Amino acid sequence: MSHLAIQHLKTLLRPEQLLLRSEQLAVYQSDGLTAFQQSPLAVAIPVTTDEVVALVRLCHQHHLPFVARGSGTSLSGGSLPVAGGIIIAMNRLNRILKMDPLNRIAVVESGVINAAVSIAAAPHGLYYAPDPSSQTICTIGGNVAFNSGGAHCLKYGMTANHVLGMKAVLATGEVVEWGGVSRESVGPDWCGLFTGNEGLFGIALEVTLQLLPKAECFHTVLAGYNSLEEAGDTVSAVIASGLLPGAMEIMDALALEAAVAAVHAEYPAGAEAVLIVELEGPREVVAEDRKRLDAIIAASKPIEARPARDAEERMAIWKGRKSAFSAVGRLSPDFIVQDGVVPRRKLGEALRRIGEMSRETRIRVANVFHAGDGNLHPLILFNGRVPGDLDRAEALAGRILKMCVEMGGSLTGEHGLGVEKRDFLPDMFREEEIDCMKRLKSAFDPLGIANPGKMFPGSEAPSLTQHGLHPLEKAGVISRE
């Protein structure tokens, strides 16, 4: 079967568009979650949407599993290869097809880098709002697949809130076009359904994005606190006041240490946590909101509150935050980024419990998260070369996820379930609800060839780097019985 599939692939693509050698495939054997690795049968690199469609139709004809991949920044194993299947690498489909400043839209191919959209829109006074930390490298197709958010999702929402239309190829090979240039549409919201499908329905080819006018004015404040709970309580106070900041982010002492080492960021001395709050909008509105925000922060008694005096200081504040994930690599050879969500009112309690778990297990945890919507990103540090370290780290990650669900939260805010969190799905949803999800998946992909082994518990999955079992299963946190 593999030999036949490769022969068919060779008829669709030029030799340089098909990677087959082991050293070439090694680059694609994992995504941002490097604990899971699997070598694909081949990597196909289409350069046109017609080639993508032809590849998917070939896969459907031969029951060949496929995984679409952009820049491979998924932190849940969402773009991990499948044994005996192919990777369809979308990076070469990177054209901005249309920039329409009058209607404030951009039509882009799915391989376009997130930040490139805002760069192209900037001369028109516009920008693309979703801003994940990996925005300088992650692709729009990946953002659509996982409904990515970012620091400013509190005010502006997730990717789904900014997708107006799309052209996609379903796992059956059918090409569909949904939505358009306006939100004024009739019938089901197919774009909304497709966004966040984690690659289980098919592949987005072209996406129509909503653009927003650049904010006239910003007010960005960096406040340091003696504890994470104090920072979390300040978030609750800001939300309770009725203010709607563009972003509210928290970083703890360990994350601050990493950011200082990586980009020489400056933070209040002795702070156990910092809170970043950013107001944006018309100058008059920001001026009034600033008075209320400054009063709330002053009442929270921070160690220090430091407003950005100009655009350069504002960018320096955000540079430290955006670099936090990669910067933690300076503190530990390996780490897991979790992505649970808790209700905002329970943010302080959740942070306290994570601290208790960290001390109990003697595993360091750096906390960086979107405080405004309770989206936690605990970074669990471990050394993959030490036997059992990965198992212990994954077991702690599992406890944190279970805590989020018990608090009335969610297993994921923006990273998706992928392979890492799929076995926790029954903790959040009933059997009938999961069955409904599976039937929906089957409607788009009756053969089960699109990104198989992801999201659903018990489905066939790629092998793990060093284990025959999922590390959470080996650690006793989950069971397949």
Q: Give the per-residue pLDDT at 111.
A: 98
Please check the confidence at residue 462 and state whether its pLDDT lies above 50. no
Q: Give strand pairing partners of 105.
A: 100, 210
d(CA 42, CA 46): 13
Class of domain 96-213 (CATH, top level): alpha beta
Please check the confidence at residue 468 and state whether its pLDDT lies above 60. no
> What integer is the mean pLDDT of 417-444?
95
Residue 160: DSSP 8-state: G
Please check the confidence at residue 467 and state whether its pLDDT lies above 50. no
Please check the confidence at residue 399 and state whether its pLDDT lies above 60. yes
pLDDT tens per residue across span 272-283: 999 999 999 999
Domain ranges of the chain: 96-213, 217-324
d(CA 146, CA 154): 17
Q: Give the per-residue pLDDT at 260.
A: 83
Q: Do the two domains 96-213 and 217-324 of this chain adopt the same fold?
A: no
Q: Which pTM was predicted?
A: 0.90
Chain CA centroid to CA 469, Å? 25
Of the spans 119-123, 178-182, 388-392, which averages the highest pLDDT? 119-123
Tokens 């400054």 correspond to 294
Q: Does domain 217-324 have CATH number 3.90.245.10?
A: no
Q: Give the per-residue pLDDT at 330.
A: 82
Q: Give strand pairing partners of 388.
A: none
Please check the confidence at residue 123 and state whether its pLDDT lies above 60. yes
pLDDT, mean over the chain: 91
pLDDT band at 460 (very low <50, low <70, confident <90, very high): low
DSSP string covering 264-325, please? -----TT-SEEEEEEEEE-HHHHHHHHHHHHHHHHHT--SEEEE--SHHHHHHHHHHHHTHH
Query: Residue 307's CB: how many other CB atoms inside 10 A?
Result: 17
- Token digits of residue 230: 């104090």
| 335: nearest Cα among 395, 404, 375, 394 | 394
d(CA 32, CA 328): 14
Percent above pLDDT 70 for the chain: 95
| 373: nearest Cα among 156, 160, 154 | 154
| 323: nearest Cα among 371, 260, 271 | 260
- Token digits of residue 348: 């302080």
| 250: nearest Cα among 350, 372, 411 | 372
- Token digits of residue 51: 């080639």
**Rounded to 5°, angle at Cα 320 from 317 and 322:** 105
Tell me the residue length of the chain.
Answer: 481
Residue 450: DSSP 8-state: B
d(CA 209, CA 309): 32
pLDDT tens per residue across span 255-266: 898 888 777 778
Please check the confidence at residue 346 and state whether its pLDDT lies above 80. yes
Q: Give the per-residue pLDDT at 185.
A: 77
Using CA atoms, how far residue 458 sits from 24, 249, 479, in Å, is 30, 35, 10
Chain CA centroid to CA 455, Å? 14
Secondary structure (3-state) at 126: strand
- Token digits of residue 145: 């697949």
Q: Give the per-residue pLDDT at 133.
A: 86
Q: Give the per-residue pLDDT at 459.
A: 65
Please check the confidence at residue 473 and state whether its pLDDT lies above 60. no
Q: Give the per-residue pLDDT at 358.
A: 96
* CA count, 13 A, side-chain hemisphere, 338: 29
d(CA 444, CA 457): 19
Q: Give the per-residue pLDDT at 326.
A: 76
DSSP E strands in 70-174: the ranges are 86-89, 96-100, 105-109, 126-127, 163-170
Buried b (16+ CB within 10 A) or exposed e, 158-184: bbbbbbbbbbbbbbbbebeebbeeeee
- If one compares 262 and 404, the residue with the highest pLDDT of the two is 404
d(CA 14, CA 168): 23
Residue 104: DSSP 8-state: T
Longest dimension (CA), the chain: 70
> What integer is the mean pLDDT of 91-98?
98
Tokens 């060949």 correspond to 64
> What integer is the mean pLDDT of 139-167?
95
| 19: nearest Cα among 50, 52, 42 | 42
For residue 315, give the H/E element and its range: helix 311-322
pLDDT band at 476 (very low <50, low <70, confident <90, very high): very low
Please check the confidence at residue 401 and state whether its pLDDT lies above 90. yes
On whether the CB atoms of residues 72 and 38 are closer than 8 A, the answer is no
pLDDT tens per residue across span 36-90: 899 999 999 999 999 999 999 999 999 999 999 999 999 999 999 999 999 999 9
> What integer is the mean pLDDT of 285-290?
96
Burial class (CB in 10 A: 0-12, 13-18, 19+), 134: buried
Q: Give the per-residue pLDDT at 1.
A: 59
Q: Give strand pairing partners of 44.
A: 18, 88
pLDDT band at 373 (very low <50, low <70, confident <90, very high): confident
pLDDT tens per residue across span 176-215: 999 998 887 788 999 999 999 999 999 999 999 999 999 9
Secondary structure (3-state) at 97: strand
Q: Give the per-residue pLDDT at 481.
A: 35
Query: Residue 133's CB: how many other CB atoms inside 10 A?
Result: 21
For residue 254, give the H/E element and its range: helix 253-263
